[in-house]
Amino acid sequence: MSGHDPDCLFCRIAAGEIPANKVYEDDDIVAFHDINPGAPVHFLIIPREHVRNLYDTDDGHQALLGKLFGISSRLAREQGLDDGFRIVVNNGRIARQEVYHLHVHVLGGPEPLRAAAKPAP
Ligand code: AMP
Ligand code: ZN
C-alpha cells in the first residue's frame, strides 16, 4: 500500500492489522471510534496514506483533505450527531499531537461541548 508506515499505529489500523471499531472505510480514508473518548461520541477520520500532520501536506493533498472534512457531517449524522459536532485537529508538538498520522477528531453528544483544546503542559 502506498505511504504505509509499518511502525505507525494508524497505518496499522487502516490496514486491519490492529483492531478498531470502524464506522467507515473506502479506498482513501478510514474512520473509527477513539479508544479514549473525550465526548459521548468521538471518532477519528484518517487518510490511508501515512501523512504525519498538516505540515506534511501540499497541493497534491487537497482532494484528500477535502474528503476528510467532507465526509464528517455524514458520518456524524450516522452516529446520531444531528445537532452539531466539533472538529479538532491537533497539529504538531504545541498542539500536543500524540499520534503522528493525520487525523480529524469528530466529537459530539447530547450536551453542549466545552472547549476541546488540550491544557498547556
Ligand atoms: P491526538 O492527540 O490528536 O494525536 O489524538 C490521538 C487520539 O488517538 C487520542 O484521542 C487517542 O485516544 C486515540 N487513540 C490512540 N490509540 C488508539 C487506538 N488504538 N484506537 C483508537 N483510538 C486511539
Ligand atoms: Zn501512519
Residue 100 included in any domain: yes
With a 6 A CB cut-off, is 99 part of the ligand 1 pocket? yes
Looking at the predicted structure, is the pLDDT value of residue 120 above 60?
no
Domain limits for position 104: 9-108
- Residues 88, 99: Cα–Cα separation, whole Å: 14
- Which residue has the CA at smallest separation from atom 4 of ligand 1? 98
Of ligand 1's atoms, which has the minimum distance to the CA of residue 105? Answer: 3
Residue 3 included in any domain: no
- CATH number for 21: 3.30.428.10
Rounded mean pLDDT of 82-98? 96
pLDDT band at 2 (very low <50, low <70, confident <90, very high): low
**Known catalytic residue: 42?**
no
Residue 75 included in any domain: yes
Residue 60 included in any domain: yes
Residue 89 included in any domain: yes
pTM, two decimal places: 0.94
Instruction: State the distance from the centre of ligand 2 to the C-alpha of 83, rounded, in angstroms.
Output: 32
Residue 4 included in any domain: no
Residue 2 included in any domain: no
- Which residue has the CA at smallest separation from atom 15 of ligand 1? 35
Q: Which long-range contacts (CB under 8 A, 24 or more apart) does 72-79 make?
A: 72/45, 72/104, 72/106, 75/23, 75/24, 75/31, 75/43, 75/45, 75/106, 76/41, 76/106, 76/108, 78/23, 78/24, 79/23, 79/41, 79/43, 79/106, 79/108
- Which residue has the CA at smallest separation from atom 18 of ligand 1? 35
- Residues 23, 85: Cα–Cα separation, whole Å: 16
pLDDT at residue 79, rounded to an integer? 97
Looking at the predicted structure, is the pLDDT value of residue 1 above 50?
no
Residue 120 included in any domain: no
When divided into structural domains, the chain yields a total of 1
What confidence tens digit (pLDDT) does each residue in 3-34 have? Answer: 899 999 999 999 999 999 999 999 999 999 99
